[in-house]
Structure 1
Amino acid sequence: MKKFKKGMIILLSTLVILGLVTVLVLQLPTFGGTASGARLERIKHSPNYKNGTFQYPLETPMMNPESSWFKLIAAYFKPTEGREPERPLPSVKTNLKTLTGTEPVLVWFGHSSYFLRVNGKNLLVDPVFSGRTSPFQFVGSKAYPCTEMYGADDFPELDAIVISHDHYDHLDYDTILKLASRTKHFHVALGVGSHLERWGVKPEAITEYDWYEAGKISDDLQLTATPGRHFSGRGLKRGQTLWNSYVLKTPTQTIFLGGDSGYGPHFKEIGEKYGPFDLALLECGQYNMMWHYIHMMPEETVQAAKDLKTEVLMPVHWGKFTLALHPWKEPIERMTKKAKEVQQPITTPRIGELVQIGGNYSTERWWEGY
């Protein structure tokens, strides 16, 4: 009996210590801030906030009901051939500071980070230039070789940074710290401003968007937030900030900035309301049937492009980090095959390659042979 009591005391003490350590760690700034005051009241009054969390209109569990966390963990320990490239990927280093003119251009940095220069304005979407998608740089998925050629110092003064949601592969603490002083304004999903303010961004430099709310980047560039089928959270609690896609409207073009999303009827609704689109950047990667509701399969990415009525589809959310179980180039192979079948035009630029929006889009299959 004495040994049993002693064992229970040790166990309880260990659990208390682990709990205290967890609480202390979650106070670190990399985990972001918590909404309060007027921001919290606005969140509570959002039509998309129900029962203490943001929700997609249709039931969207993180894990499929027939799966389990045990199966997920076991799957990650099972080797998968080709999960990462065997050698550095081909890439291009474009001098972003020397870009001039009003012709709209785009540069993709791998995964979901890309630079837009539109009507003389410099925009950066979901910038992540740390080596890992994690609250700590000693753990987590590491960027593939030759995908880290760009950093905060490579950018000109930015008119806007646009953030789709607060996951670590879309909102990076160190990157924001480095770019904040050279960015005029941040356009983010509702609630994400609490993270930015904790990191030193002034409240007047932040505009937060609920779904279907619109704002301006400049007099001739309008940004409208649209839905996604996903989730949010940087710590233990999820769904306290919103996740957005965006419609970027210029005097001559309409561009869809997709963020993260599982497939759903919102794509057709957005296409009917704001389409047709000249270009749609849609997630294509980090999927699995175990979490099918929150990330599309490549074939669904093509269907989403059709729903949006976009002229050209550009796949993102691949090519830099391994965050799922599939081989690294499986998404682009499946997507290009389906796009050919249904005659959906696509563009597949190399990382860092300059893309002229509305020009001659690259369809080079540069991943072949890797």
Structure 2
Amino acid sequence: MQILLILVVLIVVGGFLYMFHPRFGTNASGERLTLMEGKPNFKNGSFDNLEPTPALAEGTTYSDIMLSFFKKRERNVPKDLIPVVKSNLHALPLDSNVYVWFGHSSYFMQLDGKRILVDPVFSKYATPVRISVRAFNSTYDYTAADIPEVDILFISHDHWDHLDYNTFMQLKGKIKHIVTGIGVGAHLEKWGYPANQITELYWGETAEVAGFSITSTTARHFSGRAFKRNTSLWSSFVLNGSKKIFVGGDSGYGKHFKEIGTQYGPFDFVILENGQYDKMWHYIHMMPEEVVQVAQELQAAYLIPVHSSKFPLANHSWDDPLIRVTTAAHAKHVDIITPQIGQVVSLDSVPETSAWWEGLD
């Protein structure tokens, strides 16, 4: 009994000390916090959504969620290796406008002679505890070494599957500028990124960065890397260059999408989160059919779905997001782009992609 008690104490103390690791980042303070306190949806130390957004759907409890993760999950993780195209991003002609997906919400773009990176996570895990949410096995794993010097790095919000400490430490020195939501910069400065390399935006604010006009737009989600939620802002972005691109970030469905489409559309490409959904938390993650509806509301020429094919963060089968979103897109006559991980997709010509997930178990 004494040995068990000692082990429990050691685990509790060890967990408490681990919370001070730099990977957890830090909350805003000083001038940054004062600026946040002046925003209309920042109250009692945290941001809120513009629409009422409960974390769980009506009738759902946290006990229901815990029990669901202990139930047998069918094909939640693929048995086969995820096929990955190994592309040399360093050798891409800088005058080519391209898109390359790394799985989940991480992707690389070249546009108008600039290199852009979004929500890079090259770690094998999407949580601070390296015993859960492990990345799927694949034929090739992209790393920070595969990434050339980046002109703009977007961070949609500070969740572990979008803002990875190890990746950011490995990318340091390659990043010229970071664009993110207000409050996220506190984490980055703690990790050694200079303040003059970080632009933090509130919804509706616009900045000129590397020759682009970038506007922060609303998302319906939440933030937080530890126990307290919503201490920094979650965002989507409008990237205005020779192509107009919507960088979606995590979001549940809401009226904000139609408003963004009306104010900033039409878009050449909309990159929308499609995966890790469940009816139990449908306010903060869209269902695939809603993703297609949003592409229409944003007046998109092409839809590119992300947020799948790397981490098992929900109970659906690993390929369900791609099956459902393509079925819905074809039914609604929405042009959709579904490249393999690592495949270089031209943004200047009609992209050709395939249902690469078919036939995989």
Provide TM-score, normalisation by structure 2.
0.95
Whole-angstrom distance in 2 between the partners of 1:120 and 1:363 = 24
Q: 5 Å matches for 1:279-358?
A: 279-358=269-348
Q: CA shift at 1:147, angstroms? A: 6.4
Aligned partner of residue 116 in structure 1, secondary structure = strand
Q: Do structure 1's residue 237 and structure 2's residue 228 form an aligned pair?
A: yes
1:121 matched residue in structure 2? 114
Aligned partner of residue 313 in structure 1, secondary structure = strand
Q: CA shift at 1:336, angstroms? A: 0.8
The 8 Å contact of residues 187 and 207 in structure 1, kept in 2 or not, is answered as: yes
**What is the aligned length?**
359
Q: CA shift at 1:144, angstroms? A: 1.1
Residue identity in the other structure for 1:246: F
Whole-angstrom distance in 2 between the partners of 1:231 and 1:278 = 27
Q: 5 Å matches for 1:64-103?
A: 64-103=57-96
The 8 Å contact of residues 94 and 114 in structure 2, kept in 1 or not, is answered as: no
- Measured against aligned partners, the alpha-carbon deviations of 1:70-108 in whole angstroms (never above 9, x if no partner) come to 111111111122111111122201100011142311100
Q: 5 Å matches for 1:149-168?
A: 149-168=141-160
Q: Which has the larger radius of gyration?
A: 1
1:208 matched residue in structure 2? 200
2:55 matched residue in structure 1? 62
Residue identity in the other structure for 1:224: T
Q: CA shift at 1:20, angstroms? A: 5.1
Gaps of 5+ in 1: 1-6
The 8 Å contact of residues 110 and 147 in structure 1, kept in 2 or not, is answered as: no
Q: 5 Å matches for 1:134-283?
A: 134-136=127-129, 138-146=130-138, 149-219=141-211, 221-250=212-241, 252-283=242-273
1:108 matched residue in structure 2? 101
Query: How much is the aligned-residue C-alpha RMSD, in angstroms?
Result: 1.9
1:52 matched residue in structure 2? 45
Whole-angstrom distance in 2 between the partners of 1:277 and 1:103 = 19
1:4 matched residue in structure 2? none
The 8 Å contact of residues 41 and 48 in structure 2, kept in 1 or not, is answered as: yes
Whole-angstrom distance in 2 between the partners of 1:175 and 1:200 = 13
Residue identity in the other structure for 1:197: E
- Measured against aligned partners, the alpha-carbon deviations of 1:318-342 in whole angstroms (never above 9, x if no partner) come to 0111100000011111111111111
After TM superposition, the runs of 4+ consecutive aligned structure 1 residues lying more than 2 A away are 13-25
The 8 Å contact of residues 84 and 140 in structure 2, kept in 1 or not, is answered as: no
Shifted more, 345-354 versus 178-187: the winner is: 178-187
Provide TM-score, normalisation by structure 1.
0.93
Whole-angstrom distance in 2 between the partners of 1:50 and 1:362 = 47
Gaps of 5+ in 2: none
Whole-angstrom distance in 2 between the partners of 1:354 and 1:314 = 13
Whole-angstrom distance in 1 between the partners of 2:179 and 2:330 = 35
- Measured against aligned partners, the alpha-carbon deviations of 1:112-164 in whole angstroms (never above 9, x if no partner) come to 0000111111111000000000113x222111111652101111111121100
Identity of aligned residues (%): 46
Whole-angstrom distance in 2 between the partners of 1:135 and 1:80 = 23
The 8 Å contact of residues 109 and 147 in structure 1, kept in 2 or not, is answered as: no
1:364 matched residue in structure 2? 354
Whole-angstrom distance in 2 between the partners of 1:294 and 1:308 = 18
Q: CA shift at 1:18, angstroms? A: 6.8
